[in-house]
Amino acid sequence: MTYELFYWPGLPGRGECVRLALEEAGVEYIDYARLPEEKGGGVSGVTRILGAEAGTRPSFAVPVLRDGSLVIGQTPAILQYLGDRLGLAPREPSDRLWCHQIQLTLGDFMDEIHDTHHPLGASLYYADQKPEARKRAEVFREVRLPKLLGWLERVAVASGSHWLVGDRVGYADLTLFQCVEGLKYAFPKAARRALAEAPAVVTLAARVAERPNIAAYLVSDRRLAFNEDGLFRHYPELDGEA
pLDDT in tens, the chain (242 residues): 799 999 999 999 999 999 999 999 999 999 999 999 999 999 999 999 999 888 889 999 999 999 999 999 999 999 999 999 999 999 999 999 999 999 999 999 999 999 999 999 999 999 999 999 999 999 999 999 999 999 999 999 999 999 999 999 999 999 999 999 999 999 999 999 999 999 999 999 999 999 999 999 999 999 999 999 999 999 999 999 86
DSSP string, the chain: --EEEE--TT--TTHHHHHHHHHHHT--EEEGGGS-GGGT-HHHHHHHHHTGGGTTS--SSS-EEEETTEEEESHHHHHHHHHHHHT-S-SSHHHHHHHHHHHHHHHHHHHHHHHHH-TT-TTS-GGGSHHHHHHHHHHIIIIIHHHHHHHHHHHHHHT-SSSSSTTS--HHHHHHHHHHHHHHHH-HHHHHHHHTT-HHHHHHHHHHHTSHHHHHHHTSTTSPPP-TTSSS---GGGS---
Q: Are 209 and 215 in contact (CB under 8 A)?
A: yes
Domains, the chain: 3-86 (3.40.30.10), 93-211 (1.20.1050.10)
Torsion angle in degrees (nearest 10) through CA of 16, 17, 18, 21:
120
Instruction: Note the pLDDT of residue 52.
Output: 85
Q: Tell me what pLDDT residue 242 has.
A: 66
The pLDDT, as a whole number, for residue 55 is 84
pLDDT at res. 185: 98
Q: What's the pTM value of the predicted model, to 2 decimals?
A: 0.97
Per-residue confidence (pLDDT) for residue 79, from 0 to 100: 98
**Residues with Cβ within 8 Å of residue 181, at least 6 apart in sequence:** 205, 226
